[in-house]
Amino acid sequence: MANTIASYFNLKRLRALELLLAAYPILGQYVYGGFHLELFILLILDVLALQRKKGLLKCKPLIWFSAIAIIHEIVVFIITGANNQTHFNNIISIIIYIVSVFIIAPAVDFRRLSGAINIISIFCMLGLVYHFLMIQTGHSVTPIQILPDPGSKSRLHEVGYRPVSFFWEPAGYILYMMLPLFISLIEKKFIFSAIIIFTVLLSTSTNGIVFAFIIIAGYTLTQKISKSLKIGMVIMGAFFAYFLFNSSLFESGVEKINETEYEHTSRLYNGPTILTGLPKEHLIWGIPRFNAYDYYTHTDYLNGTYLIEKNEEIFLPSFYLIIVKYGIIALVFYLWLLVYIAVKSRRIRPYLLVIVVSMFSQTAILNLSWTNTMIFMFCFIMYDMNRQSIESKNLINKVLKNENTYANNPVC
């Protein structure tokens, strides 16, 4: 029984690199004063990866985009006085994020990583169900603590009425669970897929509900699967849609979808609005400031433009953030990167589709989430290309064997 479960979830031969990488999105949330675990863990992963001597990732689109981003950050730092410690720290962080992708991705064994993600996702789902039950019985919740308390100002102590499991917010849970959901779909473990989707719906996250249906649709439309399986996926999607809108379990999630005033939320308002106010040169090359808030409050370029701000921050989804910070030219190279990934592996496309859609609702550029996503996708691409190579060799050997058989046994 134990061997069967271990085989089903790819739990055999787990290693430190893959386990730590799978736990990275959770552990990396913790900050102790100026000590950020998200960077420290990446450095540990870099060391573990270098020990495997697999070389560096080769990807021209990623190199070009990374170079533009780093050069832009350094130039802006210099022209604004080179005295902003926060900006300097951010540059160091960006360099660590980028370099880590090139070092870690080639060294990761995807089969081991998928097993590590599966086991951690099970604990995450249990944590989310626990939170859901607490909320249903009238209690508030805070993120489930697994490391020493970072202090009273940490988001670990934020009280809420939405299940978050081990993450600071539902969005963190959703982004993470897209990984095991993708793996389960690719490996045709649909029972596990259904369980994951069920917990995603329990999270009451609008993005989670949308992403779950997108990845199912993406899998159905982009993968080479039988018609019966496609019909089965459509039925599963329809079942969850019906269950979502007709079960009392998901009332809060549906209400959140219906009540959200999309045109007035920062997620959909700030991006298009700020682009209409940018001068042409900044639209092309990016703003000459550390971030959008600094640009909005300390320059005159956006006079007459109203943006939604909170806690001295202006939220911009990834798509608009790339244009605002680094310019349209950088966006072109980033889109080239996404196309590159899609072309390299047909099987990655359902997950990539979710990442593309999330660019218009969430911020995941040159940060923990972006780094984890990039490492996962490139790791899968190399695994998939190797799988295709082995299958091609086996096919050739089979053909040659059959030809030899026919040569030795001529048909009259």
Q: Let me know whether 284 and 250 are in one domain.
A: no
Q: List the one residue out of 105, 49, 28, 4 whose CA is nearest residue 383.
A: 105
Total structural domains in the chain? Answer: 2
Does residue 67 belong to any structural domain of this protein?
A: no
Q: Let me know whether 265 and 254 are in one domain.
A: no
pLDDT at 410: 41
Q: Let me know whether 159 and 139 are in one domain.
A: yes
Question: In Å, how far are 49, 71, 111, 203, 356 from 197, measured between CA atoms?
Answer: 32, 41, 22, 10, 19
Contact by Cβ (8 Å): 240, 212: yes
Q: Let me know whether 254 and 273 are in one domain.
A: no
User: Domain boundary at 258, 283, 308, which?
Assistant: 258
pLDDT at 32: 93
Does residue 49 belong to any structural domain of this protein?
A: no
Does residue 38 belong to any structural domain of this protein?
A: no
- The DSSP call for residue 31 is E
Q: Let me know whether 222 and 300 are in one domain.
A: no
User: Domain boundary at 258, 277, 292, which?
Assistant: 258
Handedness of CA 240, 245, 246, 251 (dihedral sign): positive
Contact by Cβ (8 Å): 57, 101: yes
Q: Let me know whether 144 and 7 are in one domain.
A: yes
Distance, C-alpha 243 to centroid of its chain: 26
Q: Let me know whether 231 and 138 are in one domain.
A: yes
pLDDT at 302: 87
Degrees to nearest 5, angle at CA 83 with 82 and 86: 105
Does residue 223 belong to any structural domain of this protein?
A: yes
Q: Let me know whether 287 and 215 are in one domain.
A: no
- Residues forming beta bridges with residue 31, ordered by sequence position: 36
Backbone angles phi, psi at 32, to 5 degrees: -115, 95
Host domain of residue 127 = 1-15+109-258
pLDDT at 328: 96
Q: Let me know whether 186 and 197 are in one domain.
A: yes
pLDDT (tens place) for every residue of the chain, 412 residues total = 556 666 666 666 788 999 999 999 999 999 998 899 999 999 999 999 999 999 999 999 999 999 999 999 999 999 998 889 999 999 999 999 999 999 999 999 999 999 999 999 999 999 999 999 998 888 999 999 999 999 888 999 999 888 999 999 988 999 999 999 999 999 999 999 999 999 998 888 888 888 998 999 999 888 888 888 888 888 877 877 777 677 666 665 555 555 554 444 767 788 898 998 899 999 999 999 999 999 998 888 888 788 888 878 888 999 999 999 999 999 999 999 999 999 999 999 999 999 999 999 888 999 999 999 999 999 999 999 888 777 666 656 665 565 555 444 443 2
Q: Let me know whether 222 and 237 are in one domain.
A: yes
User: Domain boundary at 229, 258, 287, which?
Assistant: 258
Q: How far apart are CA 327 and CA 287, in angstroms?
A: 8
The four Cα atoms 103, 105, 111, 116 give a dihedral, to 10 degrees, of 80
Tokens at 316, concatenated: 């911009």
Handedness of CA 375, 376, 381, 382 (dihedral sign): positive
- Residues forming beta bridges with residue 32, ordered by sequence position: 35
